[in-house]
Amino acid sequence: MTEQHEEHAHRFERGTDGPKVIVVGVDGSDSSMRAAAYAGGLARRQHALLAVVYVQPVLAAGAALGAPVAETTDEIAEDLIAQIREATERVKGIFDVRWEFHTFRGDAYNGLVKAADELKADAVVVGASEQAGHRIIGSVAVRLVKAGRWPVTVVP
C-alpha cells in the first residue's frame, strides 16, 4: 500500500471493530419502536452503546395559540423513557444492552444529525415514514441517507 493511500485509509477509522455507538430515532410511532428494537439487537450483538434519541418538535404555531407544546413533548419523552425501561426490564438477564436516552429540540432531521454528530455515532437507525406526504418532500430517513455521513438503516 502506498503511503498516501495508507494515510487516507485510516482517516475515518476510530480504532475499533464494529460500531461503538448506534443512534436510533424514536417518536412513539410503531415504525420507530421497531427501529429501536432492531437497533437494540444490533447494539447487543456489537457490544455497542444504544443512544435512543427523541427530537422534541418546536411548534411555533401551537405556542403562539397558547398550546402547552413544551409540556406535551416533555410528556412524550417521559413516556418513551418509561416504555424503553419497561422493555429492558422484561429482557434483563437475557439480553443486556447499554443504552442512554437523549432529547434534542427541533425538526426530526436536524435533531438526528445533531445527535449523531455530538454522540459520535457509527450508525443511525430510523423507522420508515408512515406519512404519505413524505413521498413528495422526502422522509427523514431518505434525507439521512442522502447526507451520507453515517451508515443508515431504515426499518419498515
| Local structure of 130: helix, strand or coil | coil
| Local structure of 104: helix, strand or coil | strand
How does residue 72 score in pLDDT terms, banded at 50, 70 and 90? low
**Are residues 99 and 52 in contact, defined by beta-carbon separation less than 8 angstroms?**
yes
Q: Which strands make up the sheet holding 123-127, listed edge to edge?
A: 99-105, 49-56, 21-25, 123-127, 152-155
Residue 140 has pLDDT above 80, yes or no: yes
Average pLDDT over residues 33-41: 91
**Are residues 92 and 120 in contact, defined by beta-carbon separation less than 8 angstroms?**
no
Q: Which residue has the cell 443511525?
A: 124
Provide the pLDDT for residue 78.
Answer: 78
Count other Cβ atoms within 10 Å, centred on residue 100: 11
How does residue 152 score in pLDDT terms, banded at 50, 70 and 90? very high
Rounded to the nearest 5°, which phi and psi values hold at 35? Answer: -65, -40
CA neighbor of 70 nearest in space, from 18, 27, 105: 105
**Are residues 127 and 33 in contact, defined by beta-carbon separation less than 8 angstroms?**
yes
